[in-house]
């Protein structure tokens, strides 16, 4: 059934897939080398940190929130790792466990603040962003290289792909994160709670959902992913630097939106975000292949794409409310009164006037 | 009672809930029996919503007891109430349109396998559950694919599945059409016969008589009475709701009939109406006369005001002002013609809570002048002080935030807002609602004073005695259509109640 396949939830994702295929086709037509597994492997490795961030961001956005602190948390993680390993001499794995736990705690604090203060996630995570970036710069303003032998081994680990490419450890971690995030969001009771929270927090509460624990867990997960992205980035660069990841929270949000997750919450998924990340990576790769364009063109292309996607989502939403069900949506008034008598409220309460039979 | 009584499932005694300045619920009792549908009736502000909120744990009670199956309960949230066996379904569907039907039904208690939600089992269970409620639909589809009526049945299925003792339905039929109402009633009767206690809140009296076994009437936060539906004539029910015995003499003196309102009307509505909002009604509004509008909640009385003030646009009929046809597209048009409107819900639509009394008073005049012709600070203070004195608004000074005033004084400040624009027609919706009884008389005196100064007034009120006392004509509304126009000496509280209650076949229930 067409209606089943093309509803408000699947259409944006479908559009994303189409755009990805189109871009890939254009790239491949122009530079056949881009079809190879080597390029694909690099694409995954280069964007591993962004993908991991996007998984956490997807969960937050589906829950109806946003997290602007992930880039700063990632930066803090890299510099903290460098300090712990190079300064304190901790084995890398212990340092990883430490920063992951710290990240989760940091996120839980963000979630608790959002819930308790009833403050917009935007403001709370903006605060967290400054906090994390400030802490990172306090630890060190310089880039700290990580020389430990084990670290190089981890960073270099990977599977050889046919055609000369490699599936590195960090790329593998990213792929596993997406699979894990998908199961979490679409397969567990927790995931259902996240969708419920993003659909309508008040209704979710009326239906017995604990919105406090859900908000806290959602943000804890997102910051955990940011810390994991920090680990991956430090493996990728073998160093820690406080200004790492400046602005990548916005790249992650862009990937999530391009992937068809609605910023209003309640609709979306990690599969779309994965493609959103790949589209960004692909555009950058294409510009690299071209060699004459400034890499800042990526930003312009992403901006244009984002705009198109937001417009498409909006149009789909408008179309579905116009031709879709007529029903008492949220806020339909019991008795129409001036404040509620906007066209929206009117159209959402048809038949509010009981017809008088002769 | 000759009939055998079924066991009591829920007994609420002396429920009280205090809001700042208002006792929303004052010692109310409610008794629900297994296998009965119990209508909970009352006008706006009667305390129905508060009572439901106390039962469902949305609010905590300040006094009284709730006993379910012999155990006292004190629900502190929807979860607690559901565990005690009480669930509510509202007119506004409080399910999640972005989830599937099955997810909505089993949210928080999904069947799991290996720690993951067992989607197939969930969809299967949901389908089976819904079939018992007469719904043969694919539960894996998103809730938003279905009509309001189906969503409502899904909400009921969820509520009953969660807690099969007490089901509260708050205005469940308000957005359903006749056939859907019938389907809902069939289901409710089945559930009743299975032994569920059902609370049914509505403002369609026909539905009350078609469906319910027992009626509890609230008024101004107090219990008026509990009766068997079969033993309560419609006229008496309306009297209970409006707090007026239909035979008793009015204690408010009606002024002698005057010549007011016999000349050419200032504003005339001819067959004004809007599909699905209110049926065509006629109204003549004369300078120096009061047209009253009476009717129960949901009768369309407020909607007439919305059309007259351009909040809603009429799609039939004609509005004439000074004998010339006009079309109101927005309240701005109405304000330009010299209309003023004090809406029913002061908090929601009237006062701007955070602003001072002065700012609230000058608001309409400033809007009428246009924002570029700003009233000077001196002018604003002069206006505010004048009206505070004129209307006897009790406040230490004009800069006090309006939300700190009592209801009666807020109402006066709203009146002042419109009086400042020097309106020719003033529309008031429930001007005395939520005001101390003492302040009622003051507001009524104010209205009479305005009328005597030559203003045309259109006053909507559920205070039948007051309407009867000050109106030159009374428009009676029922089921969103006019059902009568009383004039002159025929205006008595009894006549108004009779007109409202008169048995007419309407589509609401049948």
Q: Number of folded domains in chain B?
A: 3
Q: What is the mean pLDDT of residues B472-480?
A: 87
Question: Do the chains contact at A189 and B97, CB–CB below 8 Å?
Answer: no
Question: Do the chains contact at B99 and A353, CB–CB below 8 Å?
Answer: no
The whole-number pLDDT of residue B431 equals 81
Q: What ipTM describes this predicted complex?
A: 0.76
B351 within some domain: no
Please indicate, yes or no, whether residues B181 and B289 belong to a single structural domain of this protein. Answer: no
Minimal CA separation from B423 to chain A, in Å: 19
- Cα–Cα distance between B308 and B60 in angstroms, integer? 40
What is the four-CA torsion angle of A244, A247, A248, A249, rounded to 10 degrees? 120
Question: Are residues A15 and A309 in contact, defined by beta-carbon separation less than 8 angstroms?
Answer: yes
Edge-to-edge strand ranges of the sheet holding B316-321: B278-285, B267-274, B316-321, B324-326
State chain B's mean pLDDT as an integer: 82
Interface of A with B in 185-224 (CB under 8 A): 187-189, 191-193, 195-196, 198-200, 202-209
- Cα–Cα distance between B2 and A209 in angstroms, integer? 46
CB-count exposure of residue A291 (10 Å: 0-12, 13-18, 19+): exposed
The whole-number pLDDT of residue A135 equals 94
Helix (H, G, I), strand (E, B) or coil at B492: coil
Question: Are residues B338 and B422 in contact, defined by beta-carbon separation less than 8 angstroms?
Answer: yes
State chain A's mean pLDDT as an integer: 82
Range of the domain at B146: 8-242
Question: Do the chains contact at A195 and B96, CB–CB below 8 Å?
Answer: yes
A:B CB pairs within 8 Å:
169
The per-residue DSSP string of B377-414 comes to HHHHHHHHHHHHHHTT---S-TTSBGGGS-HHHHHHHH
Residues of B in contact with A204 (CB under 8 A): 96, 107
B362 within some domain: yes
The whole-number pLDDT of residue A273 equals 94
Each residue of A157-188: pLDDT tens digit? Answer: 878 777 777 888 899 999 999 999 999 999 99
Q: What is the mean pLDDT of residues B190-215?
A: 88
Residues of B in contact with A334 (CB under 8 A): 91-92, 171, 174
B474 within some domain: yes
Please indicate, yes or no, whether residues B109 and B219 belong to a single structural domain of this protein. Answer: yes
Residues of A in contact with B142 (CB under 8 A): 7, 9
Minimal CA separation from A54 to chain B, in Å: 21
Mark residue B233 as left, alpha or beta (left: phi above 0; alpha: psi -120 to 50; beta: remaining). beta
Q: Is the dihedral of CA B479, B480, B483, B485 positive or negative?
A: positive
The whole-number pLDDT of residue B256 equals 56
B138 within some domain: yes
Q: Is the dihedral of CA A187, A189, A190, A195 positive or negative?
A: positive
The whole-number pLDDT of residue A190 equals 93
Please indicate, yes or no, whether residues B28 and B88 belong to a single structural domain of this protein. Answer: yes
Share of chain B above pLDDT 70, in %: 90
Angle at B401 between CA B396 and CA B403, to 5 degrees: 110
Angle at B15 between CA B11 and CA B21, to 5 degrees: 165
The whole-number pLDDT of residue A194 equals 95
The whole-number pLDDT of residue B403 equals 75
How many Cα atoms occupy the beta-carbon half-sphere of A41 within 13 Å?
A: 16
Please indicate, yes or no, whether residues B22 and B98 belong to a single structural domain of this protein. Answer: yes
Mark residue B236 as left, alpha or beta (left: phi above 0; alpha: psi -120 to 50; beta: remaining). alpha
Please indicate, yes or no, whether residues B291 and B224 belong to a single structural domain of this protein. Answer: no
* Whether residue B128 has pLDDT greater than 60: yes
Please indicate, yes or no, whether residues B407 and B502 belong to a single structural domain of this protein. Answer: no
Please indicate, yes or no, whether residues B408 and B442 belong to a single structural domain of this protein. Answer: no
The whole-number pLDDT of residue A26 equals 86
B429 within some domain: yes
B441 within some domain: yes
Q: Give the distance between the most distant pair of CA atoms in chain A.
A: 89
Q: What is the mean pLDDT of residues A273-296?
A: 85
Question: Do the chains contact at B302 and A335, CB–CB below 8 Å?
Answer: yes
- Cα–Cα distance between A281 and A283 in angstroms, integer? 5
The whole-number pLDDT of residue B250 equals 46
Please indicate, yes or no, whether residues B175 and B293 belong to a single structural domain of this protein. Answer: no
- Cα–Cα distance between A302 and A297 in angstroms, integer? 8
Each residue of A194-225: pLDDT tens digit? Answer: 999 999 888 888 888 888 999 999 999 999 99
B82 within some domain: yes
Nearest to B312 among A7, A327, A341 (CB): A341
Residues of A in contact with B177 (CB under 8 A): 351, 355
Share of chain A above pLDDT 70, in %: 86
Q: Which are the contacts of A91, defined by CB distance < 8 A and separation ≥ 6?
A: A85, A150
Residue A64: C-alpha distances to residues A182, A192, A258, A264, B5 (Å) = 17, 13, 16, 6, 50
How many CB atoms neighbour CB B243 within 10 A? Answer: 18
Mark residue A238 as left, alpha or beta (left: phi above 0; alpha: psi -120 to 50; beta: remaining). left
CATH code for position B287: 3.40.50.300
- Cα–Cα distance between A327 and A142 in angstroms, integer? 59
* Whether residue A100 has pLDDT greater than 60: yes
Please indicate, yes or no, whether residues B169 and B21 belong to a single structural domain of this protein. Answer: yes
The dihedrals phi and psi of A230, each to the nearest 5 degrees, come to: -65, -45
- Cα–Cα distance between B239 and B236 in angstroms, integer? 5
Residues of A in contact with B312 (CB under 8 A): 336, 341, 346
Each residue of A222-241: pLDDT tens digit? Answer: 999 999 999 999 988 888 89
Angle at B177 between CA B172 and CA B183, to 5 degrees: 70
Share of chain A above pLDDT 90, in %: 41
What is the four-CA torsion angle of A67, A70, A76, A77, rounded to 10 degrees? 130
Closest to B183 in 3D by CA, of B125, B136, B126, B234: B136
Which of A82-91, A99-108, B252-261, B485-494 is predicted most confidently? Answer: A99-108
Q: Which of B370, B397, B420 is the last residue of a domain?
A: B420
B130 within some domain: yes
Q: Is any Cβ of chain B less than 8 angstroms from the Cβ of A61?
A: no
Task: For residue B97, give the chain A residue with the closest CA.
Answer: A199
The dihedrals phi and psi of B462, each to the nearest 5 degrees, come to: -95, 5
Each residue of B431-459: pLDDT tens digit? Answer: 877 666 566 777 788 888 888 888 899 99
Q: Which two tokens stand for residue B100?
A: 């599937």
The whole-number pLDDT of residue A340 equals 32
Q: How confident is the model at residue A329 (pLDDT cuts 50, 70, 90)?
A: very low
How many Cα atoms occupy the beta-carbon half-sphere of B45 within 13 Å?
A: 18
Q: Which two tokens stand for residue B407?
A: 């209801």
Question: Are residues B477 and B294 in contact, defined by beta-carbon separation less than 8 angstroms?
Answer: yes
Interface of A with B in 132-191 (CB under 8 A): 183, 187-189, 191
The whole-number pLDDT of residue B1 equals 42
Closest to B429 in 3D by CA, of B322, B256, B282, B299: B299
The whole-number pLDDT of residue B280 equals 87
Q: What is the mean pLDDT of residues B246-272?
A: 65
Question: Do the chains contact at A339 and B348, CB–CB below 8 Å?
Answer: yes
Share of chain B above pLDDT 90, in %: 6
Question: Are residues A73 and A242 in contact, defined by beta-carbon separation less than 8 angstroms?
Answer: no
What does R_g of chain A's alpha carbons equal in angstroms? Answer: 23
* Whether residue B420 has pLDDT greater than 80: yes
Interface of A with B in 250-309 (CB under 8 A): 266-267
Q: Is any Cβ of chain B less than 8 angstroms from the Cβ of A335?
A: yes
Name which residue leads in pLDDT, A67 or B323.
Answer: A67
3-state SS of chain A is CHHHHCCCCHHHHHHHHHHHHHHHHHHHHHCHHHHCHHHHHHHHHHCHHHHHHHHHHHHHHHCCCCCCCHHHHHHHHHHHHHHHHHHCCCCHHHHHHHHHHHHHHHHHHHHHHHHHHCCCHHHHHHHHHHHHHHHHHHHCCCCEECCCHHHHHHHHCEEECCCCCEEEHHHHHHHHHHHHHHHHHHHCHHHHHHHHHHHCHHHHHHCCCCHHHHHHHHHHHHHHHHHHHHHHHHHHHCEECCCCCCCHHHHHHHHHHHCCCCCCCCCCCHHHHHHHHHHHHHHHHHHHHHCCCCCCHHHHHHHHHHHHHHHHHHHHHHHHHHHCCCCCCCCCCCCCCHHHCCHHHHHCCCCCCCCCCC
H-type alpha helices, B200-339: 205-211, 234-242, 301-308, 331-336
Please indicate, yes or no, whether residues B215 and B275 belong to a single structural domain of this protein. Answer: no
CATH of A11-320, one of 1.10.3470, 1.10.10, 3.30.1490, 1.20.1630: 1.10.3470
The whole-number pLDDT of residue B439 equals 67
Q: Which are the contacts of A170, defined by CB distance < 8 A and separation ≥ 6?
A: A45, A48, A49, A155, A232, A235, A236
Nearest to B117 among A188, A331, A337 (CB): A188
Question: Do the chains contact at B98 and A352, CB–CB below 8 Å?
Answer: no
Q: Is any Cβ of chain B less than 8 angstroms from the Cβ of A1?
A: no
* Whether residue A346 has pLDDT greater than 80: no
């Amino acid at each position: 059934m067409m209606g089943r396949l093309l509803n408000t939830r699947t259409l944006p994702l479908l559009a994303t897939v189409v755009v990805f295929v189109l871009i890939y086709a254009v790239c491949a037509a122009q530079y056949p080398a881009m079809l190879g597994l080597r390029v694909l492997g690099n694409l995954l490795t280069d964007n591993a940190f962004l993908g991991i961030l996007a998984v956490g961001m997807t969960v937050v956005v589906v829950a109806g929130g946003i997290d602007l602190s992930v880039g700063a948390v990632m930066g803090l993680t890299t510099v903290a790792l460098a300090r712990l390993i190079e300064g304190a001499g901790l084995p890398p794995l212990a340092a990883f466990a430490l920063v992951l736990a710290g990240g989760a705690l940091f996120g839980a604090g963000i979630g608790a603040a959002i819930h308790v203060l009833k403050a917009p996630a935007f403001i709370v995570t903006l605060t967290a962003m400054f906090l994390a970036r400030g802490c990172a710069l306090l630890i060190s303003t310089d880039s700290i290289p990580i020389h430990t032998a084990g670290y190089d081994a981890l960073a270099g680990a990977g599977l050889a792909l046919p055609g000369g490419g490699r599936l590195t450890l960090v790329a593998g971690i990213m792929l596993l994160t997406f699979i894990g995030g998908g199961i979490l969001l679409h397969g567990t009771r927790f995931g259902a709670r996240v969708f419920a929270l993003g659909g309508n927090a008040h209704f979710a509460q009326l239906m017995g959902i604990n919105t406090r624990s859900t908000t806290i867990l959602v943000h804890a997960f997102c910051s955990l992913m940011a810390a994991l992205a920090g680990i991956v980035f430090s493996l990728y660069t073998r160093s820690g630097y406080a200004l790492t990841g400046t602005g990548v929270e916005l790249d992650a949000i862009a990937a999530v939106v391009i992937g068809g997750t609605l910023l209003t919450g309640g609709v979306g998924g990690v599969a779309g975000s994965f493609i959103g990340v790949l589209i960004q990576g692909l555009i950058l790769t294409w510009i690299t292949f071209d060699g004459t364009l400034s890499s800042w063109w990526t930003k312009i292309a992403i901006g244009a794409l984002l705009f198109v996607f937001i417009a498409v989502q909006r149009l789909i939403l408008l179309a579905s409310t116009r031709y879709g069900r007529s029903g008492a949506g949220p806020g339909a008034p019991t008795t129409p009164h001036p404040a509620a008598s906007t066209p929206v409220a009117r159209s959402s309460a048809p038949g509010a006037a009981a017809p008088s039979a002769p | 009672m000759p009939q055998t009584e079924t066991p009591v499932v829920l007994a609420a005694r002396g429920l009280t809930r205090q809001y700042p300045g208002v006792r929303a619920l004052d010692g109310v009792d409610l008794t629900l029996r297994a296998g009965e549908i119990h209508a909970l009736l009352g006008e706006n502000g009667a305390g129905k919503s508060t009572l439901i909120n106390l039962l469902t744990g949305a609010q905590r009670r300040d006094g009284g007891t709730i006993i379910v199956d012999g155990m006292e309960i004190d629900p502190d949230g929807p979860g607690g109430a559901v565990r005690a066996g009480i669930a509510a379904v509202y007119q506004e569907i409080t399910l999640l349109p972005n989830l599937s039907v099955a997810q909505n039904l089993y949210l928080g208690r999904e069947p799991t396998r290996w720690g993951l939600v067992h989607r197939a089992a969930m969809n299967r269970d949901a389908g089976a559950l819904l079939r018992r409620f007469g719904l043969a639909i694919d539960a894996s589809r998103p809730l938003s694919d279905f009509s309001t009526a189906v969503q409502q049945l899904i909400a009921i299925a969820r509520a009953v599945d969660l807690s099969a003792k007490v089901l509260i339905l708050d205005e469940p039929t308000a957005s359903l059409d006749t056939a859907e109402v019938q389907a809902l009633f069939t289901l409710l009767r089945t559930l009743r016969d299975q032994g569920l206690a059902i609370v049914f809140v509505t403002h369609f009296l026909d539905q009350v008589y078609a469906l319910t076994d027992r009626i509890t009437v609230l008024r101004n936060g107090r219990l008026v009475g509990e009766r068997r539906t079969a033993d309560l004539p419609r006229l008496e029910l309306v009297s209970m709701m409006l707090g007026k015995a239909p035979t008793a003499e009015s204690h408010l003196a009606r002024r002698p009939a005057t010549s007011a309102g016999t000349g050419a009307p200032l504003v005339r509505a001819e067959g004004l109406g809007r599909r699905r909002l209110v049926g065509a009604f006629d109204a003549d509004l004369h300078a120096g006369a009061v047209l009253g509008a009476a009717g129960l909640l949901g009768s369309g009385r407020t909607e007439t005001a919305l059309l007259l003030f351009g909040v809603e646009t009429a799609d039939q009929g004609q509005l004439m002002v000074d004998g010339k046809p006009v079309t109101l597209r927005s309240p701005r048009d109405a304000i330009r013609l010299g209309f003023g409107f004090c809406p029913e819900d002061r908090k929601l639509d009237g006062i701007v809570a955070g602003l001072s009394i002065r700012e609230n008073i000058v608001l309409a005049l400033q809007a009428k002048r246009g924002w570029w012709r700003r009233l000077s600070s001196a002018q604003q203070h002069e206006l505010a002080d004048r009206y505070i004195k004129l209307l006897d608004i009790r406040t230490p000074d004009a800069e006090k935030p309006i939300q700190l005033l009592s209801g009666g004084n807020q109402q006066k400040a709203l009146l002042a807002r419109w009086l400042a624009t020097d309106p020719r027609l003033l529309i008031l919706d429930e001007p005395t609602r939520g005001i101390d009884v003492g302040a009622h008389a003051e507001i009524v005196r104010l209205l009479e004073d305005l009328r005597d100064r030559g203003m045309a007034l259109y006053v909507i009120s559920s205070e039948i005695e007051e309407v009867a006392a000050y109106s030159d004509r009374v428009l009676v509304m029922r089921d969103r259509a006019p059902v009568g126009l009383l004039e002159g000496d025929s205006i008595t509280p009894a006549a108004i109640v009779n007109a409202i209650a008169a048995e007419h076949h309407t589509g609401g229930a049948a």
